[in-house]
Amino acid sequence: MPKVRLIAKTEFVEPDWQTDAEGGEALVEFAGRACYQSWDKPNPRTATNATYLRHLIEVGHLSAFEHGSATLYLTELPRGLTHELVRHRHFSYSQLNQRTDPTDVVEPELIRQHPELHAKFVAATEASLAAYQELVDSLEQTVTGRRARQIARSVLPNATGTTIVVTGNYRSWRHFVAIRATEHVDVELRELAVACLRELQKAAPNAFADFVISTHPDGTEVASSPLVTEG
């Protein structure tokens, strides 16, 4: 399982207006109210940050959620998974350089649980890393170390571990969770989406309050929101 850790979030620094939440949640409310200059919270049904943000989601005013952002640091991911992750255009990424020597592989859970599969996996990935090292050593006799590693990594497996810093605004994160935490998505990516959601709900609870994590009949976790139709 990838490790997911919140490393940055939005700080709201406007002294002249406040609500019953802080950070990006307060900022989303501020932005929504700026559109109507409704600073005095005229509507009692949306007078708290939680109810205001829920209302924005219900009426589809999602652009306000673009103002808050959160940065997660993902480690112990297989590179095969980041290939799918980086297709999400609305995030910003800083990934471990591909020419860095590999140190570890990330074993799929279902393989790890079966001794026979585990043995096959270990043998195959160890052989790949050994071949990588042999190729680097040979290539370094004719090209630079950087070039040697760049060529040799052609034999590295998808399981090769990587790390990546991912920044997204709340709207992008909500979209990512909505389409990647459903049962239709491969388990690895879905588990990542659910793990991200857990961190996001700690960082900005009201902005992700409608998403509920549950256990699928097959034992894996999924997440969904009754207010999101795009999934």
Residues 182-201 that bind a second copy (CB under 8 A): 186-188
Consult the annotation and say whether 85 binds a ligand: yes
45 classed as catalytic:
no
Distance between the two ends of the chain, CA-based, in angstroms?
23
Token pair for residue 47? 């007078």
In the bound complex, what is the minimum distance in angstroms from residue 100's beta carbon to a second copy? 7
Q: Say whether residue 219 binds a second copy (CB under 8 A).
A: no
Q: Say whether residue 119 binds a second copy (CB under 8 A).
A: no
Q: Say whether residue 96 binds a second copy (CB under 8 A).
A: yes
Nearest to 1 by CA among 175, 169, 137, 193: 193
Q: Bridge partners of 70?
A: 9, 168
Q: Say whether residue 19 binds a second copy (CB under 8 A).
A: no
Answer for which of 39, 41, 98, 216 binds a second copy (CB under 8 A) is 98
Give the active site residue among 33, 79, 149, 180: 180
Q: Say whether residue 58 binds a second copy (CB under 8 A).
A: no
Q: Say whether residue 110 binds a second copy (CB under 8 A).
A: yes
* DSSP assignment of 38-86: -TT---GGG-SHHHHHHHHHHTT-GGGGGS-EEEEEEEEEEHHHHHHHT
Per CB under 8 A, which of residues 71..90 are in contact with a second copy? 71, 73, 78-80, 82-84, 86-87, 89
- The Cα 204–Cα 185 span in angstroms is 25
Q: Say whether residue 128 binds a second copy (CB under 8 A).
A: yes
Q: Say whether residue 167 binds a second copy (CB under 8 A).
A: yes
Output the CA torsion sign for 130, 131, 132, 133: positive
Contact 210, 226 (CB under 8 A): yes
In the bound complex, what is the minimum distance in angstroms from residue 23's beta carbon to a second copy? 7
Answer for which of 48, 55, 111, 198 binds a second copy (CB under 8 A) is 111
Answer for which of 48, 51, 55, 107 binds a second copy (CB under 8 A) is 107
Three-class SS state of 155: helix
Contact 201, 208 (CB under 8 A): yes
Q: Say whether residue 127 binds a second copy (CB under 8 A).
A: yes
Catalytic residue ranges: 180
